[in-house]
């Protein structure tokens, strides 16, 4: 699963950092950083889904890497 954040929407509320600390962090200027943009373990996927669900501005996008088009 690929994890992406629309930085134009992100307000750095930090909920994703609290819910998914292995995927997100805040830098020294309180700006969001995606520290793991691809995840495959069940734990990381659950954290990514929880963070996406709780983002107040819906800035997090998850993409299934196994999907074929």
Whole-prediction pTM: 0.86
What is the C-alpha separation between 40 and 65, in angstroms, rounded? Answer: 9
* Structure confidence by residue, pLDDT tens digits, 22-41: 999 999 888 999 999 999 99
Instruction: Using DSSP bridges, classify how beta strands 60-63 and 32-34 pair: parallel, antiparallel or unpaired.
Output: unpaired
Quote the tokens at residue 65: 């890497």
What is the C-alpha separation between 45 and 20, in angstroms, rounded? Answer: 9
3-state SS assignment for residue 14: coil
Band of the pLDDT at 3, cuts 50, 70, 90? very high
Using CA atoms, how far residue 31 sits from 8, 25, 46, 60, in Å, is: 12, 8, 23, 14
The fold adopted by the segment(s) 2-63 is: Alpha-Beta Plaits (3.30.70)
């Amino acid at each position: 699963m690929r994890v992406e954040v629309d930085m134009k929407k992100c307000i750095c509320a930090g909920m994703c950092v609290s819910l998914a600390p292995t995927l997100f962090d805040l830098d020294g200027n309180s700006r969001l950083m995606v520290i793991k943009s691809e995840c495959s373990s069940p734990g990381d996927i659950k954290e990514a889904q929880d963070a996406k669900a709780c983002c107040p501005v819906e800035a997090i996008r998850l993409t299934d890497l196994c999907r074929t088009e």
